[in-house]
């Protein structure tokens, strides 16, 4: 127990971020048990009901419980964030290690393609991909994962360029090991620390991007209860008459992004002391 307490004292904001993420992950896993109502069941009698003891976050225009929709929406946001980050990290690590270790014309071509992808903001590229693929949960994951690939590959490539000049890599080459075996056995394990840092930092960005796509109608479609979709349905029409329709989904997005960013900063300082702020 002493070590977790010491880490919490050293990184208080990181501990707060970890607690927030544990709460959201627990809510996503146990949404069917914790949510007081079905997120899809409508009740015209409860249309725009104010927050009360039975509906702590109120109800939307169709009489659906806001709290239940936010709890189930955590599944969508975390699923999109986690899976898109994993896919982007997988391809980014593969491309980064290959580019940094092989070098030559392959590295030149990959870096020019990376420059093209990085020239566009993440949200703009995700919008283009989502519009081309169509609104659905798998397509949203793919659309958000593609802009992450160049960012991950750049970090991993830089780390690979530094690692391949070290003595243990030269020793492995002297023993006759192939390049791919060296990359898998020696380079890849030493890139895990920066990979964890960048993946955690990008998780908040993916959650925010998913909410933005859903808000614009290009993300996860109905009937899935997405936080961004909840804002899109309520922001313009009910902002003044029923502000709870906007406040609570917006608060959920803000807390999720804040939690992942604080946790990512703490992991950065913990795993890479050279970047401590």
Report whether 227 contacts 257 (CB < 8 A): no
Total-model pTM: 0.83
> In the prediction, which pLDDT does 272 show?
61
Q: Does 139 reside within a domain?
A: yes
CA distance 132 to 163: 39
> In the prediction, which pLDDT does 1 show?
43
Q: Does 7 reside within a domain?
A: yes
Query: How many structural domains are present in the chain?
Result: 1
Q: Does 119 reside within a domain?
A: yes
> In the prediction, which pLDDT does 70 show?
92
Q: Does 43 reside within a domain?
A: no
Return the closest-CA partner of residue 126 out of 88, 97, 178, 163: 88
Q: Does 51 reside within a domain?
A: no
CA distance 233 to 237: 8
Retrieve residue 7's tokens: 């880490």
- Averaged over successive runs of 10 residues, the pLDDT of the chain (277 residues) comes to 66 85 90 87 86 89 89 88 90 88 85 85 83 84 89 87 78 76 79 81 85 83 80 74 87 90 81 55
Report whether 30 contacts 276 (CB < 8 A): no
Report whether 96 contacts 160 (CB < 8 A): yes
Cα dihedral 160→98→96→117 (10° resolution): 150
Q: What is the extent of the structural domain holding 256?
A: 2-38+58-275
Q: Does 8 reside within a domain?
A: yes
> In the prediction, which pLDDT does 251 show?
92
Say which CATH number the domain at 121 has: 1.10.3720.10
Return the closest-CA partner of residue 82 out of 219, 207, 262: 207
CA distance 2 to 10: 12
Q: Does 85 reside within a domain?
A: yes
35 — alpha (psi -120 to 50), left (phi > 0) or beta? Answer: beta
């Amino acid at each position: 127990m002493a070590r977790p307490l010491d880490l919490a004292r050293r990184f208080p904001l990181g501990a707060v971020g970890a607690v927030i993420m544990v709460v959201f992950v627990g809510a996503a896993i146990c949404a069917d048990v914790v949510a007081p109502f079905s997120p899809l069941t409508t009740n015209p009698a409860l249309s725009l009901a104010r927050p009360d003891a039975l509906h702590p976050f109120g109800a939307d225009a169709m009489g659906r419980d806001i709290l239940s929709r936010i709890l189930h929406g955590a599944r969508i946001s975390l699923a999109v964030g986690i899976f898109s980050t994993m896919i982007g990290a997988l391809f980014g690590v593969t491309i980064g290690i290959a580019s940094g270790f092989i070098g030559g014309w392959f590295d030149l071509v990959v870096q020019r393609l990376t420059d093209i992808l990085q020239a566009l903001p993440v949200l703009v590229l995700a919008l283009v991909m989502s519009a081309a693929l169509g609104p659905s949960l798998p397509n949203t994951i793919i659309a958000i994962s593609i802009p992450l690939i160049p960012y991950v590959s750049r970090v991993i490539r830089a780390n690979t360029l530094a690692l391949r000049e070290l003595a243990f890599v030269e020793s492995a080459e002297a023993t006759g090991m192939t390049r791919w075996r060296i990359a898998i056995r020696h380079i890849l394990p030493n890139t895990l620390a920066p990979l964890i840092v960048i993946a955690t930092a990008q998780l908040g960005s993916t959650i925010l991007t998913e909410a933005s796509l859903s808000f614009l109608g290009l993300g996860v479609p109905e009937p899935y209860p997405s936080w961004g979709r909840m804002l899109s349905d309520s922001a313009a029409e009910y902002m003044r008459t029923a502000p709870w329709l906007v406040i609570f989904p917006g608060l959920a997005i803000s807390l999720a992004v804040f939690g992942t960013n604080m946790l990512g900063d703490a992991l950065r300082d913990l795993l890479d002391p050279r970047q401590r702020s």
